[in-house]
Amino acid sequence: MYVAAALGSRLAHVRRCFGNLRFSHCLLLVMASAPDISSQVTLDRIHHSPPPTAPPAQNQRATRLPQQQLHTRRRRRLDLFPDLVDVTRHHEFLRVHLNEKGEKLLYITHRLDKNGFDVRVFLVAASGFLTDSYILFVTNTVIPSIMYVYMHDKPDQAATFELWMNLSTLIGSIVGQIVFGILADIYGRTSLYGWELVIVIFATFGFAFTSEGIAPVAVTPQAPSLNLKTAFYCWRFLTGFGIGAEYPLSAVLTAEWASVHHRGQMLAAVFAMQPLGQLCAALAGLSAISIVDRIHNVQGDVRRSGIVYTDSSRVAVDRVWRGVVLFGAIPSVIALLFRFYLPDPGRYTLEVQEDIDRAVKDTDTEIEKNALWAWPKSLWPWKKKLTAEEQVELSQGRETRRGTEDTADTASTQPTDAEDNDQSLSDLWTYLWEERNWTLLFGTCVTWFLLDVVFYGLGISSPHTLAVVWADRALPLTGTQKVDPWNPDPTHPNDTIVDVLDRNSRRLIYTSVIGSLVGSVALIFSMNWIRRKWLLQWSFLVIACFLVATGVSMRLTFGSKNWLATFAFYVVCQILFNFGPNTLTFLIPAEIFSTRYRCTLHGLSAASGKLGSVLIRIILHESVRKKSDQNAFNQQAVKLSWTLIAFSVVMALGFPITKIFLPDVQRDQRREDGTLVDKTLEDLSPGLSAAERDNQLLGALWFREHWPSLLSRNRRRGAGNDVSRSPSPSNYSRPSHDHERSHTQDGSLRHEDPVGEHLSVASVPESSESQSSSVL
């Protein structure tokens, strides 16, 4: 009976992993890879009692064949099916090293959880994200300067130029997020980490040193030898390509190197570099224009001559924007020096590359390097210092006091299963479609899409939007006075280029940067006290309400002394954006997907967001086109107020999408200090099946529970087929988690390891085993 059960389990597992093979091939694979039945019984953890050894029959040898002869026989059988050789070798590797992989993964996660907040990994990831944010938002200074220098006699081309400067960067980001996300899963995280900065540095220098070539000297003006706008678009596309690659690489590397308790804080701290980079770009613009004006006296020269454009002023402003752009390459070079020396996370090396020794070695080396950053707790409040006993425990590689208060910041003390699937298109299809994890991908893509539609649609970093918000006096309704294209504010028509650049940077800091920084810092320190899914869905709804209030306020107070009300609403919206969806849509995709495809799916989610920003930029350009007169400015204010109200509907859609399609990444438990217990990446990597084990109804199950009438037809049609894959509420069993965790008398968390709770990759559902046994 034990032999039949073991063969049935093996056959069911092979057919589950390699479903495209014939039944005879699967049977041969079972015979070739598992000649010893007792080893299979051990793999399936049927170890409550050892299987009885049947006495040998008469005239039958009681001894096994030598190992070499067994190996020869297996090779002869596999020669009949050469397409199974690679499959069998991989299956044999898993059969032999399965227990070792599980133990090493448990050791790696335990060491990472004891490591606390990894300052070194944070600084490496944050430095690149800071640089990319700086280069992305430096256009607030660059675009008006380029218009002043090269388009002072072409005002009709200014609006189109600004649109395509932004679109080329965003389209490049989409391509970079997808390409680097896929390549990082195939070739390794750090194999590409650093090359995106090389691309950004190269594109930054190319953009800063772009010129229009030589214009032929002739009576009739002729085009120069180089199309300057085309060159700008190409360099910005390449810059966006490198910036887009930063999203999946930095997010996934940070998540996989972080301890489970500090994972959310590290990811939020990395994303906080976006408003900090925006602040650096604004300060760099202020400093550059101040220094150049002091040296060349641009403003005094323009006012004395009475001419807006002079040769000396154009030369000085040209130096301003080129210097501001080149300054962004300095932190990129510094960050680049550290990125090539950061190893792949132990999780990826073990589960995907299957290099057990290197995974353990890289983890130990990184933790030893992070020990050099053991700053005092007063300087780094979330940095946890290990006691002498814990250091001895880690050095010996043991897990004493499992589940006590000292290890309560980790759920990885539970037995951990390493993944055994190879990366392939068929496996990705199985993971997304057959295992229904497309539900989670749909949730991350749509929420990021909705966020970026509103975030980039507000154009808060655009000088034209800031001019509308800060308009403190009304303009004549019949005004036709032309305004220079580089001056976005018709209420100050006589300002020089120095005044415009200075005003743009200050308005950006007051309206956007300060609020974004406040929201990011608040989220970092409250990350472990608030449920991330709850915060995401309700922040969508709260922002929607504030957008309505902002639109109404702009409609009523535009051009009046009460404009500060609109300004205050804008600042509150920026705080809520970074306290909620702007950070969480970056964070959650780095947690909920499998290690094999974490970078790919994070890149697809980020690319969906940038796709929304591209679409809304085009729509607003056609509907709220910028013109160089006072009537256009008044109309822009009216259209922007209605746009804000329309955006509230878009943000409100994020509430049901988050609720229905995204899982919880934290447990229904709190520690003694009140912080929530995060789930490990290994707990979340199965995707939808892990959420269902935690009694979460997502996707189709949620609709079956709440709106049964909408799916009644599908229920009748697939009642006999879909019960096993998509159970309805009537037959959906809600597993109890009392056996997974319980509380000790002092209130700390204690994790138990019931037999059979964490099965190996060779284990299969009970129904599959019974079916296979009956077939045999």
Percent of the chain with pLDDT over 90: 28
Residues 714 and 603 in one domain: no
> Given a cut of 90, is residue 191 above it in pLDDT?
no
Closest to 178 (Cα-Cα) out of 610, 773, 633: 610
Residues facing residue 678 across a β-bridge: 666
Mean pLDDT of 5-11: 52
> Given a cut of 70, is residue 399 above it in pLDDT?
no
Domain assignment of residue 355, yes or no: no
The answer to whether the CB of 387 falls within 8 A of the CB of 653 is no
| Average pLDDT of the residues of the chain | 74
State which of 304-308, 577-581, 734-738 shows the largest mean pLDDT: 577-581
The answer to whether the CB of 407 falls within 8 A of the CB of 413 is yes
> Residue 366 half-sphere exposure, CB side, CA atoms within 13 Å?
34
Domain assignment of residue 162, yes or no: no
SS3 749: strand
The answer to whether the CB of 741 falls within 8 A of the CB of 683 is no
Q: State phi, psi for 666 to the nearest 5 degrees.
A: -130, 155
pLDDT for 92 equals: 53
SS3 222: coil
Mean pLDDT of 493-513: 88
Q: What's the structural domain count of the chain?
A: 3
Domain assignment of residue 313, yes or no: yes
Residues 549 and 637 in one domain: yes
Banded pLDDT at 13 (limits 50, 70, 90) = low
Residues 90 and 178 in one domain: no
Domain assignment of residue 397, yes or no: no
Banded pLDDT at 309 (limits 50, 70, 90) = confident
The two tokens of residue 195 are 């090359």
> Given a cut of 60, is residue 103 above it in pLDDT?
yes
Residues 97 and 144 in one domain: no
Name, in order, each residue with C-beta under 8 angstroms of 63's C-beta and a sequence gap of 6 or more.
none
> Residue 35 half-sphere exposure, CB side, CA atoms within 13 Å?
14
pLDDT tens-digit readout, 588-617: 999 999 999 999 999 999 999 999 999 998
pLDDT for 406 equals: 39
The number of residues making up the chain comes to 776
pLDDT for 392 equals: 47
Residues 653 and 706 in one domain: no
The secondary structure element, H or E, covering residue 447 is helix 438-458
The answer to whether the CB of 273 falls within 8 A of the CB of 133 is yes
Banded pLDDT at 343 (limits 50, 70, 90) = confident
Terminal-to-terminal C-alpha distance of the chain: 12
Mean pLDDT of 113-142: 85
**Stretch among 258-262, 294-298, 516-520, 739-743 having the lowest mean pLDDT:** 739-743
The answer to whether the CB of 249 falls within 8 A of the CB of 192 is yes
> Given a cut of 60, is residue 698 above it in pLDDT?
yes
pLDDT for 381 equals: 44
Domain assignment of residue 687, yes or no: no
Separation between Cα atoms, residue 158 and residue 704, nearest integer Å:
53
**Residue 619 backbone zone (phi > 0: left; psi -120 to 50: alpha; other: beta):** alpha
State the amino acid at position 675 in one-letter form.
T
The answer to whether the CB of 677 falls within 8 A of the CB of 407 is no
What is the β-pairing status of strands 749-751 and 666-670? unpaired
Closest to 179 (Cα-Cα) out of 166, 195, 163: 195
> Given a cut of 60, is residue 77 above it in pLDDT?
no
SS3 533: helix
Q: Which residue has 């059988």 as its token pair?
A: 77
pLDDT tens-digit readout, 362-385: 888 777 776 655 544 444 444 444
Q: State phi, psi for 42 to the nearest 5 degrees.
A: -65, -40
Question: Could you write out the DSSP letters of every residue in 363-421?
Answer: HHHHHHHHGGG---TTTSTTPPPPPHHHHHHHHHT---STTSGGGTT-STTS--PPP-P
The two tokens of residue 578 are 């970074």
What is residue 512's DSSP assignment?
Answer: I
> Residue 504 half-sphere exposure, CB side, CA atoms within 13 Å?
32
**pLDDT, greater one: 48 or 554:** 554
Domain, as residue range, for 85: 1-47+70-115+755-776
The answer to whether the CB of 195 falls within 8 A of the CB of 246 is no
Residues 78 and 133 in one domain: no
Mean pLDDT of 633-641: 82
Banded pLDDT at 537 (limits 50, 70, 90) = very high
Residues facing residue 676 across a β-bridge: 670
Mean pLDDT of 546-558: 91
Banded pLDDT at 546 (limits 50, 70, 90) = very high
What is residue 711's DSSP assignment?
Answer: G
Start-end of H helices in 138-217: 139-150, 158-187, 189-192, 195-208
pLDDT tens-digit readout, 442-475: 999 999 999 999 998 887 778 888 888 888 776 6
| Domain boundary residue, one of 610, 641, 661 | 661
Q: What is the pTM of this model?
A: 0.75
pLDDT for 169 equals: 93
State which of 59-68, 119-128, 399-408 shows the largest mean pLDDT: 119-128
The two tokens of residue 300 are 């005094």
Mean pLDDT of 347-355: 82
Domain assignment of residue 505, yes or no: yes
Sign of the CA dihedral running 622, 627, 631, 634 = positive
Residues 30 and 94 in one domain: yes
**pLDDT, greater one: 492 or 33:** 492
Residues 26 and 36 in one domain: yes
**pLDDT, greater one: 130 or 706:** 130
The two tokens of residue 667 are 């447990």
The secondary structure element, H or E, covering residue 46 is none
Q: State phi, psi for 533 to the nearest 5 degrees.
A: -65, -45
Separation between Cα atoms, residue 651 and residue 543, nearest integer Å:
7
Residues 120 and 31 in one domain: no
CATH number of the structural domain spanning residue 578: 1.20.1250.20
The two tokens of residue 305 are 């001559």
Banded pLDDT at 296 (limits 50, 70, 90) = confident
Separation between Cα atoms, residue 123 and residue 520, nearest integer Å:
17
The answer to whether the CB of 454 falls within 8 A of the CB of 647 is yes
Mean pLDDT of 558-573: 89
Task: Determine the number of helices (DSSP H) and then strands (DSSP E) in the chain.
Answer: 34, 4
For the CA atoms of 67, 68, 73, 76, the dihedral, rounded to the nearest 10 degrees, stands at: 140
> Given a cut of 60, is residue 24 above it in pLDDT?
no
pLDDT for 362 equals: 80
Residues facing residue 741 across a β-bridge: 751
Domain assignment of residue 709, yes or no: yes
Residues 10 and 124 in one domain: no
Percent of the chain with pLDDT over 70: 67
State the amino acid at position 717 in one-letter form.
R
Domain assignment of residue 633, yes or no: yes
Residues 135 and 102 in one domain: no
> Given a cut of 70, is residue 512 above it in pLDDT?
yes
Mean pLDDT of 631-641: 79
Question: Could you write out the DSSP letters of every residue in 649-690?
Answer: HHHHHHHHHHHHH----EEEEE-TTSPEEEPPHHHHTTTHHH
The answer to whether the CB of 133 falls within 8 A of the CB of 516 is no
SS3 750: strand
> Given a cut of 70, is residue 733 above it in pLDDT?
no
The alpha carbon of residue 170 and the mean position of all alpha carbons in its chain are separated, in whole angstroms, by 16
Residues 645 and 724 in one domain: no
